[in-house]
Amino acid sequence: MDSNKIGKDAEKLAEKYLIKHRLKLLERNFSSRFGEIDLIMQDRDTLTFIEVRYRNSKMFGGAAASVTASKQSKIIKTAQFYLSQNPRHANKNCRFDVIAFEYDAAPSSPLWYKDAFRI
């Protein structure tokens, strides 16, 4: 199966999962020259930047471990750009979450890592 399609499917599953947990979707696939954030959602009064990861095996640490320091830096810079473009959110608490899927034959249940990394 095409890895881009799997990635998009994982993002859709993550979005549905988070909406069930009462987060409100603000943006999908927000891009800047620094990178992309898969989902931007509001969790009560907290603006949440979410990276969705999938892996077809747990080798090399699995999906969550694939959010490297370099990837975190890109997400943080993109989040800062988002905040500069959306001043209504500038004073909100912010959080960086990871939703991880481990794929075998079918997608697993998502693993939600709240506050997975910080600035």
From first to last of its 119 residues, what are the pLDDT tens digits of the chain?
A: 577 787 888 899 999 999 999 999 999 999 999 999 999 999 999 999 999 988 766 666 677 667 788 999 999 999 999 999 999 998 999 999 999 887 665 556 888 999 999 88
Alpha carbon distance 23, 109 (integer Å): 18
What domains are defined for the chain? Answer: 3-117 (3.40.1350.10)
pTM of the prediction?
Answer: 0.89
pLDDT (0 to 100) of residue 108: 67
97-to-4, 58, 75, 104 alpha-carbon distances in Å: 21, 20, 11, 23
What is the DSSP pairing of strand 46-55 with strand 93-102? parallel
**How far from each other are the two terminal CA atoms of the chain, in whole angstroms?**
35
